[in-house]
Amino acid sequence: MAPPTSPTGPSTDPSTCPAAAARIEVVDLTASYHGRPAVAGVNLKIEPRQVTALIGPSGSGKSTLLRCMNSMHLTVPGAGVTGSVLLDDVDIYTAKISPVEIRQRVGMVFQRPTPFPTMSIRDNVLAGLHLGRRLGRGSHDDLVEQALVRAGLWHEVKDRLKAPGGRLSGGQQQRLCIARALAVEPEILLMDEPCSALDPSATLTVEDLIKEIKQTYTVVIVTHNLQQAARVADTTAFLTVPAAGEPGRLVEVGPTERIFSTPRQQATEDYITGKAG
Ligand SMILES: Nc1ncnc2c1ncn2[C@@H]1O[C@H](COP(=O)(O)OP(=O)(O)OP(=O)(O)O)[C@@H](O)[C@H]1O
Ligand SMILES: [Mg+2]
């Protein structure tokens, strides 16, 4: 793993320094379920310290592609993958990297907030640490604070860290899940429709947070909300199903502004103007 850095320069204290952002390159990737391709022939570069949005109609393979980026796809029964996902030039499917290390380096936040409801806020933040980070006992409090600060939740919960995670609002729970993901110091954060269960105000809070964390992390977000993609993403990739029964395909990828203002493919234009999908 690359050495940790911070905006103010390298730090020697592992409890205070975020991990370096990493690059992902997807090469000729096909992901299938029970031998049937769900998304095929994908080539995509995910740049560090950028937000990349995956957009496209339901069933086009956005979640499948996202899960391929940290090998979680292979935890689904019957799932298969061909092609490569290079994490800083190392293929996660052929190199001898354990799934635990991959998921520590490439964290994930899901559509519905998934805190452990009866576990305390503090323990929720620490819940991912068995993935590999080892810290001295005294560092746990610092780590909890830092992760909650980075997730924009600290001021709302600092006086009730022992309260159950399930007592927070939906938007707070989602930020708690983001804090839990950040606490293991990933290099990349994958987010699958992280705001779809949130109200507009909580959505904007999480979007602000995404813009903030991209200073340090590489972020890939799946969203059905095109305004959200336009607001938060530097790069946008459009996927679609070309014909019924076919696997999803990556149609076009580029700077978000260009994709929304002058898409090069008709299918992209039809989708973003609401004519299709
Ligand atoms: N666990 C699974 N078993 C079998 N097929 C699956 C499984 N998960 C997804 N698929 C299929 O893979 C294809 C892509 O699904 P995926 O969930 O990746 O699409 P998506 O673009 O994320 O859709 P949505 O926008 O509805 O979340 C679909 O045809 C879907 O039916
Ligand atoms: Mg999905």
Per-residue model confidence (pLDDT) at position 198: 86
In the reported structure, the alpha carbon of residue 193 is separated from the centroid of ligand 2 by a whole-number distance in angstroms of 7
What confidence tens digit (pLDDT) does each residue in 27-62 have? 999 999 999 999 999 999 999 999 999 999 999 999
Q: Average the pLDDT over each of 102-111, 131-140, 191-200 and give the range with the smallest value.
A: 131-140
* Closest residue by CA, ligand 1 atom 7: 33
Question: CB-based contacts of 36: which residues, under 8 Å, 6+ apart?
Answer: 247
Q: Which of 55, 58, 228, 249 to mutate to test the pocket of ligand 1 (most atoms within 8 A of CB)?
A: 58
Distance 75 CA to ligand 1 centre (A): 14
- Is it the case that residue 164 has pLDDT exceeding 80? yes
Percent of the chain with pLDDT over 70: 90
**Architecture in CATH for domain 20-272:** 3-Layer(aba) Sandwich (3.40)
Cα–Cα distance, 144 to 211 (Å, whole number): 21
Model pTM? 0.90
How many Å separate Cα 19 from the centre of its chain? 15
Q: Token pair of 232, please?
A: 């938060």
Cβ–ligand 1 distance for 247 under 6 Å, the answer: no
76 lines ligand 1 (CB under 6 A): yes
Per DSSP bridges, beta strands 51-55 and 218-222 are parallel
Which residues have a Cβ under 8 Å from the Cβ of 231 and sit 6 or more positions away? 207
How far does the centroid of ligand 1 lie from the alpha carbon of residue 130, in Å? Answer: 29
104 lines ligand 1 (CB under 6 A): no
Work out the average pLDDT over 226-248. Answer: 97
Tokens standing for 124?
A: 């929720």
Using a 6 Å cutoff on CB, does residue 32 contact ligand 1?
no
Ligand 1 pocket check for 33: Cβ under 6 Å: yes
4 C-alpha vs ligand 2 centroid, how far in Å? Answer: 32
User: How far, in Å, is the centroid of ligand 2 from the Cα of 64?
Assistant: 7
Per-domain residue ranges for the chain? 20-272
Q: 109-148, pLDDT tens digit by residue?
A: 998 888 999 999 999 999 988 655 556 656 889 999 999 9
pLDDT given at position 139: 83
